[in-house]
C-alpha cells in the first residue's frame, strides 16, 4: 500500500470548504484530471453517496464511506480493481480564517500495475500543484 499526504491551504473557512469537498460533483471544477463527476445515487456528501466520474476517458465510481461534519470526508474508489484508492480530506482552521486541507491517499496497485507501486507517492505529489491551483481558484 502506498500512502501519500498532501496539504493545501485555501482562503475559505472550514464550513465552506467542507461543503464544497463533500459534494464530490465539484471535483470536475478543481481537478484537472476529472472531466465529469456526477452523483449516481444517495444524497450529496452523505455516507453511502455514490459518484461517477470520467477520469482520463474511463468512468469510475467512488463511495463516501465516512463523514465528520466540518472535519473530514473519507471515500473509496475502484475498490474491486487492480488500482484501488482510498482517500480522506481532513480540514483544520488556519489563523487567518482559511482552511488547511490535508489529503491522505492510499493506493494499492496490483496485477500489471504493481510495478508502479514505488512511484505512486511521486505521481500524487506531482499532481499537488495542479490540485492546489484548482482548489484555490474555487475556494480562494
The structural domains of the chain, with segments of one domain joined by +, span: 2-139
Check residue 42 and give its pLDDT: 96
Q: What is the CA radius of gyration of the chain?
A: 15
How far, in whole angstroms, is CA 112 from its chain's centroid?
24
Q: Which of 74, 81, 72, 67 is nearest to 17 (CA)?
A: 72
**Distance (Å, whole) CA 5 – CA 10:** 16
Tell me, which fold does domain 2-139 have in CATH?
Alpha-D-Glucose-1,6-Bisphosphate; Chain A, domain 4 (3.30.530)
Please state the pTM of the whole predicted model.
Answer: 0.84
The percent helix, strand, coil of the chain (3-state, each to 5) is 30, 40, 25
- The one-digit pLDDT tens for each residue of the chain (140 residues) are 557 788 999 999 999 999 999 999 999 999 888 999 999 999 999 999 999 999 877 888 999 999 999 999 999 986 666 667 889 999 999 999 999 999 888 877 667 666 766 776 677 667 777 888 899 999 98
Q: In what order do the strands lie in the sheet with 34-41?
A: 2-10, 99-107, 85-93, 72-77, 58-68, 50-55, 34-41
Amino acid at each position: 500500500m502506498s500512502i501519500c499526504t498532501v496539504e493545501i491551504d485555501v482562503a475559505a473557512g472550514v464550513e465552506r470548504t467542507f461543503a464544497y469537498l463533500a459534494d464530490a460533483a465539484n471535483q470536475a471544477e478543481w481537478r484537472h484530471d476529472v472531466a465529469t463527476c456526477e452523483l449516481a445515487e444517495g444524497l450529496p456528501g452523505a455516507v453511502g453517496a455514490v459518484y461517477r466520474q470520467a477520469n482520463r476517458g474511463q468512468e469510475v465510481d467512488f463511495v463516501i464511506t465516512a463523514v465528520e461534519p466540518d472535519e473530514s470526508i473519507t471515500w473509496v474508489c475502484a475498490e474491486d480493481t487492480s488500482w484501488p484508492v482510498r482517500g480522506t480530506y481532513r480540514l483544520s482552521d488556519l489563523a487567518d480564517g482559511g482552511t488547511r486541507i490535508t489529503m491522505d491517499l492510499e493506493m494499492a496497485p496490483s496485477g500489471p500495475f504493481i510495478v508502479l507501486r514505488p512511484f505512486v507517492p511521486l505521481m500524487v505529489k506531482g499532481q499537488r500543484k495542479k490540485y492546489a491551483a484548482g482548489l484555490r481558484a474555487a475556494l480562494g
